Amino acid sequence: MGPIIVGVNTIQELKKSYRTPETPGSFFFSLEGIEGSGKTTQIKALEDYVTSKGLRCLTLREPGGTTFGEKLREAILGSEAPLHPLAECHLFLASRAQLLNEKILPFLLQPGSVVILDRYIDSTLAYQGKARRLGYSTILELHRHDPLNLLPHRTYFLDIDLETSMQRQLTRGNKKDYFESQKQEFYQNLLDGYREVAELFPERILKIDGSGTVASITEKIHHDLKRLLS
C-alpha cells in the first residue's frame, strides 16, 4: 500500500478532472476483473435487467468496439514482440478515445440509455498502472482530457483469487494471447492492482466476490442496480 498512500493527494487532485455522463436516466456501467472472473456471464445478466426496465442498451468491449479499435485490439493482443508499457498503454487509450467519441458519448445523449463496457479505465490502471509499473497517477493523468475523462456511474469488479482464475482458464483451454502468457508475478500484481484501484474509487467501484455462484453475483448486481436506477 506504500506507494498508493504517498500518491493519494495527487490522485485525489486528478480525480477532480473526471466527470460522469449527465443525461437524465442514462447510465454508464463497466465490468472489471482478471481472466476467468465471469464478466461475460454477468454482462448478459446486466443487459437483461436494464432492457427489462425499458432502457436501451449498448454493450461494448475494450480494446475494440469500433472498426479502428478492433484493428488496435489485433495489434496489441496479437503482438509477438513484447511492447513497451507506454506503447501498450497508448494503444489502449487510442482505442478508448475512439470508442467514446464514436459510440459511447453519442449513445448516452438520448435519455434512458445504458452503456455496458467489458473493461475500461480500471483495466488500464491494474494492467498498465500496476502490473506494467507505469503507476496509477500516470494513467490518471493521461485520462484527464476529454473524452477520456468520462467515468462510469458504477463499475462492478468481480474479484477472484489467482487459483480460481488459472483453474477457469485451464477449463476453457483457449490459445493464450499476449497477456495470458505472462508469468505468475504479473498476475499477482494485477490482482493487487485491481484491489487497490477499488479502494481508490470506493464511491464508484463495487467489489463483488466472484467465486460465489453465478446467481449470487447476479443478485448482488441487481440489488445495486435497483438502488441506482430508482
Task: List interacting residues with ligand TYD (CB under 6 A).
Answer: 35, 61-63, 77, 92, 118-119, 123-124, 127-128, 179
Q: Give me 8's grid cell.
A: 493519494
In the complex with ligand TYD, the residue whose CB is nearer, 52 or 184, is 184
- Least Å distance, CB 58 to ligand TYD, is 17
- Least Å distance, CB 124 to ligand TYD, is 4
Nearest-angstrom CA–CA distance, 110 and 113: 6
In the complex with ligand TYD, the residue whose CB is nearer, 130 or 154, is 130
Q: How many CB atoms lie within 10 A of CB 163?
A: 9
In the complex with ligand TYD, the residue whose CB is nearer, 127 or 156, is 127
Q: Are 208 and 158 in contact (CB under 8 A)?
A: yes
- Least Å distance, CB 179 to ligand TYD, is 4
Q: Are 92 and 99 in contact (CB under 8 A)?
A: no
Beta strand extents in 1-153 (DSSP E only): 27-32, 56-61, 113-118
Give the residue at shortest CB distance from ligand TYD. 127
- Least Å distance, CB 229 to ligand TYD, is 25
Q: Are 66 and 102 in contact (CB under 8 A)?
A: yes
In the complex with ligand TYD, the residue whose CB is nearer, 92 or 194, is 92
